[in-house]
Structure 1
């Protein structure tokens, strides 16, 4: 990080992306190792889920039991659905593990460089398992929040469609609900990102980390949500391209297998870079939010805190105090 805390306060939308790319290229060796170890498997699991899930979906549709001969309606067997959801659970578990491990590795690496600590691949991999449990608690809490939020949002859409049907008023109201839902989803996503960084770098996790992330977001909400929106749009774009040109390339465009494989590799490389950028930007956004709230980042305290992960001797503060990245600075006169 080549900016002072005062300069970080004024970093905007493009500044965060610029700082993130500069951080990646300045640490390309360690990030390449982290990518090959954690982010590449995350990408492979993501694409494998799309392919296998599509296969199982059609398997369920074709291996159905005839329910009503008159209406010719079919439904899958219980066994088919059991295998399908078992696969979903396994996929979600593996995806979560690699995502949390990648978050821990990237955040620790950037924080170590920020404090001037020597950062090597072996040390990062030694730290990752120690942070994983704390990150998992934070993940479970934010996942439950998103779960109930999706139930409320989905319920509102269903009620709207049931009452107003496909009328003009119903379509307009449904569009408004969808926009509000997306706004709330982006908000929770940014809270999740900041809470993840807080979990790694501060002495808080779970609901406390979520509250801290929510507080840090104040004053930078539009910035954080704008970054999350762009990254999610790129993610959706990669998925759509993969579906069109790889998954259904032979049916829609009559592409030969070699072209579909090449396009699949290209999509995979783009997704790997996107995931890495996602983890780096959330750390940079955290530093910007800290500077915005004038919470001085004590590099010595942070270095000491990071040292605890690697087994170094740590001098803890007095009872009742927490190790934090910094305390609020006094306002300039």
Structure 2
């Protein structure tokens, strides 16, 4: 890192992006190894899910239109295809979660090692994954629950609005307000959950405690964190729209030849690959910025010792409450 921790609290919106890109390009080899090993499969899974889901859903829609002829047979076929569709979604969700937590653990550990000036070897990065994946999985489960509950609240609010005001002008206005508030809340939750994921790897907290710590760290940097989340997920949404328009339906919408659709698909895949790497690097840099903003000293030796524990190095663990939380103000450091 080209910034001292004390200076990091002054890094703003653009500075975080600059710091993240600088970190990646300064350590191209290790990040390229992580990308090809863990993030490339994640990208392939993500894009394959789009294509396979579209094919399976098309078959389901076609069978639903043909139920009038030989309805018993069609109903039987439709039930089997719905089963395949559900099983596919479950398998996709499992693989997506596995590679997401593996890539998160690897990238966060690498960025933290860069900060502490530790020697970074790809084999060592891979060694920490078996030691942290269970903790990250617990945190991911809590993240999924948070978004699930938040989505239910949003849908209920929309349903109540429509049931009371039908589709009047007032209903449309309230729906717009609810959606705007939903997006704002979504960006804040994304920011907190990103910090919680980093906390899980670099501190002793996981699950609910990690998310609560992420919420505490987010205070004072909400605008910056939510702004970054807006840019990142806006880019992702735009990328998916381009993929859908020009790759999935490029032949129908724009009469594109298969070669052009394939080239655009490869470009979208490459940008998605870079996006998935960048987002984890950014959330780690955000963590360091938020820690510095709160005056929570991150001692390089303490962090290096904590990271060394993943490597099986001999360390003296602190007592309960004195873990390497990296969260005590400087005057309380022992």
TM-score with structure 1 setting the length: 0.95
- Residue number in structure 2 paired with 1:42: 42
**Contact 1:246/1:260 (8 A) holds in 2:** yes
SS of equivalent to 2:24:
helix
- Residue number in structure 2 paired with 1:26: 26
Q: Which ranges of structure 1 fall in alignment gaps of 5 or more residues? A: none
Decide whether aligned partners of structure 1 residues 31 and 59 sit closer, same or farther in structure 2, where only a CA change above 3 A counts.
Answer: same
Asked if 1:127 corresponds to 2:138, the answer is: no
Q: Distance in 2 between matches of 1:317 and 1:53?
A: 49
- Residue number in structure 1 paired with 2:242: 241
Post-superposition offset of 1:13: 0.4
Q: Distance in 1 between matches of 2:320 and 2:141?
A: 29
Q: Distance in 1 between matches of 2:321 and 2:215?
A: 23
Post-superposition offset of 1:165: 2.1
Q: Distance in 2 between matches of 1:161 and 1:154?
A: 11
Aligned CA-pair RMSD: 1.7
Post-superposition offset of 1:6: 2.1
- Residue number in structure 1 paired with 2:118: 117
The number of residues matched between the two structures is: 327
Q: Which ranges of structure 2 fall in alignment gaps of 5 or more residues? A: none
Post-superposition offset of 1:145: 1.2
SS of equivalent to 2:330:
coil
- Residue number in structure 1 paired with 2:86: 85
Q: Distance in 2 between matches of 1:61 and 1:198?
A: 44
Q: Distance in 1 between matches of 2:102 and 2:282?
A: 16
Query: CA-to-partner distance for each residue in 1:58-91, whole Å, 9 max, x for gaps?
Result: 000112276679xxxx988332222111111111
Q: Distance in 2 between matches of 1:289 and 1:323?
A: 16
- Residue number in structure 2 paired with 1:59: 59
Asked if 1:148 corresponds to 2:153, the answer is: no
Q: Distance in 1 between matches of 2:208 and 2:325?
A: 16
Decide whether aligned partners of structure 1 residues 78 and 171 sit closer, same or farther in structure 2, where only a CA change above 3 A counts.
Answer: same
- Residue number in structure 2 paired with 1:102: 103
Q: Distance in 1 between matches of 2:195 and 2:321?
A: 24
**Contact 1:65/1:77 (8 A) holds in 2:** no
**Contact 1:198/1:205 (8 A) holds in 2:** yes
- Matches for 1:171-190 after TM superposition, within 5 Å: 171-190=172-191
**Contact 1:301/1:324 (8 A) holds in 2:** no
Q: Distance in 1 between matches of 2:165 and 2:320?
A: 59
Q: Distance in 1 between matches of 2:232 and 2:65?
A: 42
Task: After superposing the two structures, state which structure 1 stretch, 150-159 or 161-170, moved more.
Answer: 161-170
Post-superposition offset of 1:325: 2.3
**Contact 1:45/1:95 (8 A) holds in 2:** yes
SS of equivalent to 1:117:
coil
- Residue number in structure 2 paired with 1:258: 259
TM-score with structure 2 setting the length: 0.94
- Residue number in structure 2 paired with 1:321: 322
- Residue number in structure 1 paired with 2:202: 201
Q: Distance in 1 between matches of 2:326 and 2:182?
A: 33
Q: Distance in 1 between matches of 2:258 and 2:67?
A: 38
Post-superposition offset of 1:166: 2.0
Query: Once superposed, which parts of structure 1, at least 4 consecutive aligned residues long, lie more than 3 Å away?
Result: 65-69
